[in-house]
Amino acid sequence: MIVPRLTLSNGVTIPAMGLGTYPMHDEATAAVASGLELGYRLIDTAEAYGNEEQVGRGIAASRVPRDQIFITTKFNRAWHSVDGVRQAAQASMRRLGVDYLDMLLIHWPNPGLGRYVEAFEGLLRLLDEGIIKAAGTSNFKPAHLARLHTATGMLPQVNQINLNPWAQRADTVAYHRRHQILTESWSPIRPAALLSDPVILAVAKDHDATPAQVVLRWHTQHGYLPIPKSASPARQAENLASWDLELSEADMAVIDDLDRGEDQVTDSDVYGH
């Protein structure tokens, strides 16, 4: 199956589930090629993962045309300036072997550095020039997003955050909903113990599905865009088949009750690279 698409606030369409690539290195080439053959159309990488070349080789090796693949990458704090973002984009495009990016993201806000507004201004210029189709942030809290809005009058189309049933990020998700920002979930099926939570196991048993499929369908039924990573074609296919599931309102409600709060995630006011 080919993953269905969502529409971003700027009218660009984006696949509703993607393939994560961290922490893959040489194995990323085969994993990306198999993911694309199976039906993934969004690939998530980053400068920090050190695998953009391997990911680019996987894209080139697949038979899927470039214009059907949504390539997303992220840059580190060293590039938090208007010109720095342009250089970061050019370096990523060179490593990936492509001449445009579908989405470029500020990987972490690094508020201690205090330059994420400049980085966002750099993204907006690339968007105007068509070098990127969407401007993304990652690990931004509502206060960081609000600062972008005040300074530029604009917001990203996507904010990629650590989100799973144990860490549901209610405040951030509510801000996204109010401002038409798509929520993209990183580590959507982690930590590993989440997949043996008794509630997830019970829902999986009812649907004759796997725990990972239940968690991924919970994300997509909420309208979140999960980017599960798997190096294994069998698990990539298993994760794609989550689209065949239909969770009931009651299933969604019992999973919604699993939230353990914001201290499940890394504090992006403190950590960043």
Q: Find all residues with CB under 8 Å of 131, minimum gap 6, and list them.
A: 89, 100, 101
Q: Between 6 and 30, name the residue whose CB sits nearer to ligand NAP.
A: 30
Q: Between 31 and 126, name the residue whose CB sits nearer to ligand NAP.
A: 31
- Write down the least CB distance from residue 87 to ligand NAP, Å: 20
Q: Between 135 and 150, name the residue whose CB sits nearer to ligand NAP.
A: 135
Q: Find all residues with CB under 8 Å of 17, minimum gap 6, and list them.
A: 3, 40, 42, 216, 220, 225, 226, 227, 228, 239, 240, 242, 243
Residue 263: CB atoms within 10 A of its CB come to 7
- Write down the least CB distance from residue 161 to ligand NAP, Å: 8
Task: Quote the CA–CA distance of 96 and 57 in Å, as a whole number.
Answer: 7
- Judged by phi (left if over 0) then psi (alpha if -120 to 50, else beta), residue 260 lies in alpha
- Write down the least CB distance from residue 194 to ligand NAP, Å: 9
Tell me which residues touch ligand NAP (CB under 6 A): 20-22, 44, 107, 138-139, 160, 186-190, 195, 210, 212, 227-232, 235, 238-239
- Write down the least CB distance from residue 112 to ligand NAP, Å: 17
Helix, strand or coil, per DSSP, at residue 238: helix
Q: Between 30 and 154, name the residue whose CB sits nearer to ligand NAP.
A: 30
Residue 230: CB atoms within 10 A of its CB come to 19
Task: Quote the CA–CA distance of 201 and 192 in Å, as a whole number.
Answer: 13
Task: Quote the CA–CA distance of 268 and 108 in Å, as a whole number.
Answer: 7
Minimal CB distance residue for ligand NAP: 20
On whether the CB atoms of residues 127 and 153 are closer than 8 A, the answer is: no
CA atoms within 13 A of residue 6's CA, in its CB half-sphere: 22
- Write down the least CB distance from residue 103 to ligand NAP, Å: 12
Bridging pattern class, strands 19-20 and 13-15: unpaired
- Write down the least CB distance from residue 201 to ligand NAP, Å: 13
Closest CA to 183 of 167, 162, 165: 162
Q: Between 19 and 150, name the residue whose CB sits nearer to ligand NAP.
A: 19
Residue type at 40 in one-letter notation? Y
Task: Quote the CA–CA distance of 114 and 59 in Å, as a whole number.
Answer: 35
Known catalytic residues? 49
Q: Between 70 and 186, name the residue whose CB sits nearer to ligand NAP.
A: 186
